[in-house]
């Protein structure tokens, strides 16, 4: 397989299980979001992927974030695009290996993982049916030239109102963009920083459950 990953098999026997892929944030690893796995619906096959760029001390990134005195903080866009392609390829490998349900692929990303989840769903129309974007935003530099009119993907979006890493203003642009492109979405804010509040977890868990 092209990316390292860990897996939680479905707790109930299903011939073609629905698939949930987890994409962690910058400087984390595949164990991070896997803590959600135990609490999520039994029928899901849950795969937590590790980002390809090693930062040392068990930390990984999907793409570099660089700092300089002129631009401040900026993202390595070529690396990010490369990671989008790697994730797309990885999803195909997982679907084939585990014989998952062809119409029930969920992609859940946190922070950098959420940014790439948006990018993947818009660059690879309908490769995933459902996106859960936690504490992320839509990066215009990762969008295709035009949004495919046949995309059916829907989105669950949440963000902390006091997020010091990715400002809430960035997140608020996503529902506007999705509405303009007639893409279904549910958007919510929580009074937290750059993280997932318990009530936020129960909210996206219910959203996933409704789509199984």
Q: Which residues does residue 21 pair with via DSSP β-bridges, in sequence order?
A: 47, 107
Under DSSP, is residue 97 helix (H, G, I), strand (E, B) or coil?
helix
Per-residue model confidence (pLDDT) at position 156: 98
Which token pair is 1? Answer: 């397989």
Could you list the pLDDT tens digit for every one of the 212 residues in the chain? Answer: 999 999 999 999 889 999 999 999 999 999 999 999 999 999 999 999 999 999 999 999 999 988 776 666 778 999 999 999 999 999 999 999 999 999 999 999 999 999 999 999 999 999 999 999 999 999 999 999 999 999 999 999 999 999 999 999 999 999 999 999 999 999 999 999 999 999 999 999 999 999 99
Supply the angle between the helices 112-123 and 77-98 in degrees, to the nearest 10: 70
Residue 79's SS3 state is helix
Can you point out the beta strands (E) in the chain? 5-8, 19-23, 45-49, 53-56, 59-61, 65-68, 72-75, 105-110, 130-134, 154-160, 185-190
CB atoms closer than 10 angstroms to residue 163: 20
Q: In the prediction, which pLDDT does 70 show?
A: 66
Domain hosting 9: range is: 5-210
Residue 9's region, left for phi above 0, alpha for psi from -120 to 50, else beta, is beta
> At 197, phi and psi to the nearest 5?
-75, 150
How many domains does the structure of the chain reveal?
A: 1
Beta strands in 2-153 (DSSP E): 5-8, 19-23, 45-49, 53-56, 59-61, 65-68, 72-75, 105-110, 130-134
Separation between Cα atoms, residue 80 and residue 87, nearest integer Å: 11
Tell me, yes or no, if the pTM score tops 0.85. yes
Residue owning tokens 């999520």: 40
**Beta 65-68 vs 59-61: how paired, if at all?**
unpaired
pLDDT of residue 69: 66
The structure tokens listed for 79 are 């690396």
Q: Which CATH number belongs to the domain containing residue 160 in this structure?
A: 3.40.50.1820
């Amino acid at each position: 397989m092209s990316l390292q990953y860990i897996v939680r098999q479905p707790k109930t026997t299903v011939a073609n299980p629905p698939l949930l892929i987890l994409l962690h944030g910058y400087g984390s690893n595949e164990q991070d979001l896997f803590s959600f796995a135990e609490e999520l619906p039994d029928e899901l096959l849950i795969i937590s992927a590790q980002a390809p760029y090693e930062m040392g001390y068990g930390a990984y990134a999907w793409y570099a974030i660089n700092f300089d005195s002129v631009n401040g903080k900026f993202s390595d866009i070529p690396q990010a695009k490369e990671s989008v392609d790697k994730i797309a390829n990885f999803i195909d490998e997982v679907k084939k290996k585990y014989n998952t349900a062809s119409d029930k692929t969920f992609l859940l990303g946190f922070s950098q993982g959420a940014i790439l989840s948006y990018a993947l769903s818009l660059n690879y129309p309908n490769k995933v049916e459902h996106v859960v974007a936690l504490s992320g935003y839509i990066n215009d530099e990762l969008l295709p030239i035009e949004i495919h009119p046949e995309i059916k993907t829907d989105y669950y979006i949440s963000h902390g109102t006091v997020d010091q890493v990715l400002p809430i203003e960035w997140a608020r642009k996503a529902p506007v963009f999705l509405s303009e492109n007639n893409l279904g979405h549910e958007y919510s804010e929580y009074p937290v920083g750059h993280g997932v509040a318990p009530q936020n977890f129960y909210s996206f868990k219910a959203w996933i459950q409704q789509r199984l």
